Amino acid sequence: MSDATRIYLTGSCEGFDRLKESLAQQPGLELVGSNEQPGAAGGALAGGHLDCVLHATSSSTLPAHELATIREYTRAPLLLVASREASSLLDEALSADVADVILLPALAENVVFAIRKATHGPRRAAAAGNREGRIVTVFSPKGGTGKTVIATNLAAALAKVEGRRTLLLDLDLQFGDTAIMLGIEPEKTIFDLVNAPGELDPDKLAGYTTKHPSGLDLLPAPLRPEDAELVTEAKLGRLIEVARVCYDAIIVDTSPFFHGPMLATLDRTDELLLICSLDVPTLKNVRLALGTLEMLSFPTARIKVVLNRANSKVGMKQREVEAALEQKVRYEVPSDRAVPLTVNKGAPAVVSDAGSDFARAIQAMAKGVLPAEEPKRGWKLRPSFARA
């Protein structure tokens, strides 16, 4: 994965196009895209893993509305670009949520310097200290492809076999069934957590998760489908940031839709396990999903295709899947009777039938998503201790 600083450009002003061209030539910067209208760039702003947004304005007053629109989608540092005559903007902008103001014409080096300063400022420092846990999102645009079976088993393997601090987050907010697959009857769910009064912090998170015998902590989906919409993107974003401090891995189970919470999750996802199977409708939808992810500027390097029931004899071959998706299959998971048997027992196969083909495939996946040779991390608050 490239370490380039990912920037997005919105708005317009005199000289902005020239600046765009010269920034495109700068090593270490990646222009993810541009759109004059911040409102029309929502997908890319939210899902583009941006390090910085440059917004140009030709107005002599602060474009508060446009800045607020950008802020609805991303917390990335914002730089305002204006022509020299607009220098009256400076004070107003800096007291708003703007990291710096660039007055054009300006030397490209100076602009790069301003971008570097903004992206390595306090936000980055905080990020470097805090954003440690790996967010692995298990997604498929089609229902019933095995997302939940894979997410629950992957989380259990990471916790039990790899000894990682693991949170399983159920974002199939209406019909989540991670709890039932793990044989857990939850007392508290994500709905209770995001609606509890006060700031969300590690201690609070610990009070709402349920420990499974494998060692994983589960934050289940709301018990009632109608409560799903109260789990807003802003609350979810905060929740994921807090979880990152407490866990090595956060495995997110999802529903087959690109809704708001999913976009907030994608924005923070380090690895997206895209579940596919050997059937034409699923393949068609996975292909469409890849197109949507591209439109959202989700980094391709973070997408890993998982072929579930890879050994099924159904007249379609893995290489046909790879050709249709223009993507290699990264993980193969076999169809295995152990899966329905262990699902019905409420005991994940990696724990209750560890020798099964399915469990072995998931164990290999666990090693792949969180390689053992990763440098040891510093101390983290362990939610289970905090609760004791």
Ligand X SMILES: Nc1ncnc2c1ncn2[C@@H]1O[C@H](COP(=O)(O)OP(=O)(O)OP(=O)(O)O)[C@@H](O)[C@H]1O
- CB of 173: closest distance to ligand X in angstroms? 11
For position 137 contacting ligand X by CB under 6 A, the verdict is no
Query: Which residue spans within the chain are E strands per DSSP?
Result: 5-11, 29-35, 52-56, 78-83, 100-104, 134-139, 166-171, 210-211, 217-219, 249-254, 271-277, 303-308, 329-333
For position 268 contacting ligand X by CB under 6 A, the verdict is no
Stretch that binds ligand X, among 14-22, 106-114, 297-305, 328-336 (CB under 6 A): 328-336
For position 34 contacting ligand X by CB under 6 A, the verdict is no
- DSSP state letter for 356: S
For position 363 contacting ligand X by CB under 6 A, the verdict is no
| Beta-ladder partners of 104 | 83
Query: Which of 12/352 has CB closer to ligand X?
Result: 352
* Site pattern 213..242 for ligand X (x: CB under 6 A): ------------------------------
**104 neighbors 83 (Cβ within 8 angstroms):** yes
Binding at 237: pick from ligand X, Mg ion, none (beta carbon under 5-8 Å per type): none
Query: Which of 12/174 has CB closer to ligand X?
Result: 174
**67 neighbors 97 (Cβ within 8 angstroms):** yes
For position 153 contacting ligand X by CB under 6 A, the verdict is no
Query: Which of 355/378 has CB closer to ligand X?
Result: 355
Q: How far is CA 388 from CA 207, 244, 247, 384, in A?
A: 10, 20, 17, 6
- CB of 142: closest distance to Mg ion in angstroms? 11
Query: Which of 73/139 has CB closer to Mg ion?
Result: 139
Query: Which of 269/335 has CB closer to ligand X?
Result: 335
CB atoms within 10 A of CB 160: 21
For position 335 contacting ligand X by CB under 6 A, the verdict is yes
Measured CA to CA, the distance from residue 361 to residue 70 in angstroms comes to: 42
Query: Which of 73/139 has CB closer to ligand X?
Result: 139
* CB proximity list for 242: less than 8 A, separation 6 or greater: 200, 201, 202, 205
Among 358, 359, 366, 370, binds ligand X (CB under 6 A): 358
**104: its two tokens:** 């054009």
- CB of 139: closest distance to Mg ion in angstroms? 10
- DSSP state letter for 374: S
List contacts with ligand X (CB under 6 A). 140, 143-149, 172, 256, 308-309, 333, 335-336, 339-340, 343, 358
